[in-house]
Chains A and B, each alone.
Chain A
Amino acid sequence: DIQMTQSPSSLSASVGDRVTITCRASHSISSYLNWYQQKPGKAPRLLIYAASSLQSGVPSRFSGSGSGTDFTLTISSLQPEDFATYYCQQSSNTPPYTFGQGTKLEIK
């Protein structure tokens, strides 16, 4: 199976900051990479699919980039509602579609 590693595992930032979260795949996955946001007690929410495509309804301050093994999720200007845990997920070839371990974004 393909392993996904996110960094950092946790991150403290302030409202208005620019934040970048990194995800690395153990093998090349082309652009088969998705990003999700999860708040405590809630279901995950799709933010980005196919590495860089913004899901409908997601604010444009979220963006994704990368291909192959290295990917990033960027939040251009943090808003109070963005404090959450973020997960990457690979969807290359056949399942399982493994997730990264998550990055918890906290208020500084």
Chain B
Amino acid sequence: EVQLVQSGAEVKKPGESLRISCKGSGYSFTNFWIAWVRQMPGKGLEWMGIIYPGDSETRYSPSFQGHITMSADKSISTAYLQWSSVEASDTAMYFCARRQYLRVSWYDYYYMDVWGKGTTVTVSS
């Protein structure tokens, strides 16, 4: 079964560092990009960025660039999302998702076909 398993809920104080994880199984982890998506309480989905575990190439949304770091350890099929200093505004659910790729004629289609269950992050003093 193809799945992404995310790490458990985190409670942090402002200014602390944090790293959450997303472990893939049931497929070739190094061949698919992994995206991270934020959902603040009661709000919609926000696309944060994407990483290719094969070579750790990353692409960040401008809204999140400089505040987060994405990384991956292909030896253990795990992607990471980390903060050097969390803020109260980082309180949210974070999802990882596999980016699927389909080529039809000259067109390259991308979509998120497998999702982790999410990691809840709470930042409070």
* Residues on A facing B (Cβ under 8 Å): 1, 30-32, 34, 36, 38, 42-46, 49-50, 55, 85, 87, 89, 91, 94-102
Contacts and interface: CB of A to CB of B under 8 A. Distances in A.
Given A87-B45, A96-B62, A32 B109 contact: yes
Contact of A44 (B61, B63, B112): B112
A43 B4 CA distance: 11
A34 B109 CA distance: 10
Interface residues of B, number: 27
Given A43-B95, A50-B104, A91 B45 contact: no
Contacts of A49: 100, 102, 109, 111, 113
A97 B35 CA distance: 10
Determine chain A's interface SS by DSSP, over half rule: loop
A91 B100 CA distance: 11
Nearest to B46: A99
